[in-house]
Amino acid sequence: MAFSILLNTIFNEATKCYHDSDHVDASNPNPYSPNTIEYDLFLKNWIDAVQWHLEDIIRKPHIDPKEALALKRRIDKSNQDRTDLVERIDSFFWKKYKDVKVLPEAVINTESPAWAIDRLSILILKIWHMRSEVERQNATPEHKDQCQKKLKILLEQKNDLSSAIDQLLEDIESGRRYMKMYKQMKMYNDPSLNPSLYASKTE
């Protein structure tokens, strides 16, 4: 089975589960066993769904500044959790393909498998929300028509990206491409790397 089938199945499942409650503080109902790739994929999309809606909330025109600051802190943590999880998913592929004999003409891809998977997770969320706009009862016909056109493009992107992920994994498995794991090394959350954080200790 193509790996993209598993990705699309779990991402769609997680997206639906989030919107069943449609609340950023809902508990994650992950149905998969911990320490499995399925668990991590479900968690990945759940984190993305929560952050999507946090980004919506923080853009309210008349939001209280204290609430906005708290949301910004929460979004920062979510970004770090997302990055850590992407790297964990890449570790799965690294271990899976570590013994593959790399061909002499092999090339490296511009992004790792997990970062491509990250884009697919967010694309599934875009499709969900664009479809919701198409079906929104109080929207104008013009709005629905524009959103339908965008939805068609998003669905095409999903198919293309799914195929590209499968091709990348096939190429890595056959030795035609190889992967490296680079930590993202985000600096803004690290007290030793963010000047605004380490400078405050001496003030």
Residue 178 and residue 196: Cα distance in Å, rounded? 38
User: Any long-range contacts for 55-58 (C-beta under 8 Å, 24+ apart)?
Assistant: 57/24
pLDDT tens track for 95-124? 999 999 999 999 999 999 999 999 999 999
pLDDT confidence band for 1 (50 / 70 / 90): confident
Percent of the chain predicted with pLDDT > 90: 88
53, 45 in Cβ contact below 8 A?
no
pLDDT at 191: 74
pLDDT tens track for 165-182? 999 999 999 999 999 887
Task: Using the structure block, give the residue that is written with the tokens 């969320």.
Answer: 125
39-76 b/e (C-beta count within 10 Å ≥ 16 → b) = ebbbbbbbbbbbbbbbeeebeeeeeeeeeeeebeebbe
